[in-house]
Homo-oligomer: A and B are copies of this chain.
Amino acid sequence: MAQAIPFRQVSPLKASCQQCSLSNLCLPLAIGENDLARLEDIIQQGRIFNRGEHIFDQSTPYRSCFAVKSGSIKTSIITESGEEQVTGFFMPGELVGLDSIGGEHYACTAKALERTSVCEFPIDRLEELTGKLPGLQHHMYHLMSQEIQNSHQLAMLLSKNTAEERIAALLLSLSSRFQRRRMSPTNFSLPMARNDIANFLGLAVETVSRVFTRFQNQGIIKARGREVELLDIEALQLVSREFSRQCNN
């Protein structure tokens, strides 16, 4: 039994986007089958990060952007005064690091919220490739403009909406993002702590907690710890004037 069974080890460096369940969400969706190999060529795949580990750090030289394969990531910026501002949460199939493309350094820090695996796209090779594949370039523009819009939506949420509205919007955003990944839109586990939610939404932790219990008392959601069940999505949409499509997504 000590005898090793010979087997072919798949090279850890070569990605196979075709077999990835996220290929319809991730960059490959912008590429024809024939060109896919060129994208796979530049990907450094399969790095795994444990909860709390940094995928990259603010102010370090910009090298790559990353696609989430599994798990989830939060990005945040740290000010000179040491305050943290969470700028986004990223789920499988989403691209992290777009806010720094074209810059010399990472503009934020990306941290794994749970055990997370990512695909890495070295920026110089990616830029080279987008120069050759108009569809991919277009998609990059699209993703980046999407990110600008998300951020504007967030700004609107922060400047115009109450605590309840903000939290309802976040729950709905997460819900639709889970759904797109073929997971339950009503029954999921929050990858982030209350603290992160509060920071992201510009609220105090206590307020987040209170709103969660208020929603629970109203029968809109059921929440125990990070486990959440959305009992009445329509009510949530009603609370969040702005309806769905908030924040990220």
Interface residues of A (CB under 8 A from B): 77, 79-81, 83, 85, 87, 98-103, 107-108, 127-128, 130-132, 134, 137-149, 151-152, 154-156, 158-160, 199, 201-202, 241-243
Contact = CB atoms under 8 A, between A and B. Distances in A.
4 closest Cβ contacts across the A-B interface?
Answer: A159-B202, A102-B142, A102-B141, A151-B151
A51 B94 CA distance: 40
**How many monomers of this chain does the complex have?**
2
A63 to B, nearest CB: 14
Contact of A152 (B77, B142, B199): B77
27 contacts: A77-B152, A79-B242, A81-B241, A87-B155, A99-B149, A100-B149, A101-B141, A101-B142, A102-B145, A103-B142, A103-B145, A127-B138, A127-B141, A131-B134, A137-B137, A141-B144, A144-B145, A144-B148, A148-B148, A148-B151, A151-B155, A154-B155, A155-B155, A155-B158, A158-B158, A159-B199, A159-B202
A101 B141 CA distance: 6
Classify the interface of chain A: helix, strand, loop or mixed: helix
A152 B87 contact: yes
Given A101-B141, A137-B127, A137-B131, A85 B160 contact: yes
Given A144-B148, A155-B158, 16 more contacts: A77-B156, A83-B160, A85-B156, A87-B152, A87-B155, A101-B142, A102-B140, A102-B143, A102-B145, A107-B152, A127-B137, A130-B131, A131-B131, A131-B132, A140-B141, A160-B202
A136 to B, nearest CB: 10
A131 B160 CA distance: 40
Nearest to A159: B202
Given A151-B151, A152-B108, A98 B145 contact: yes
Contacts of A160: 83, 85, 202
Contacts of A99: 145, 148-149, 152
A22 B145 CA distance: 24
Contacts of A85: 152, 155-156, 159-160
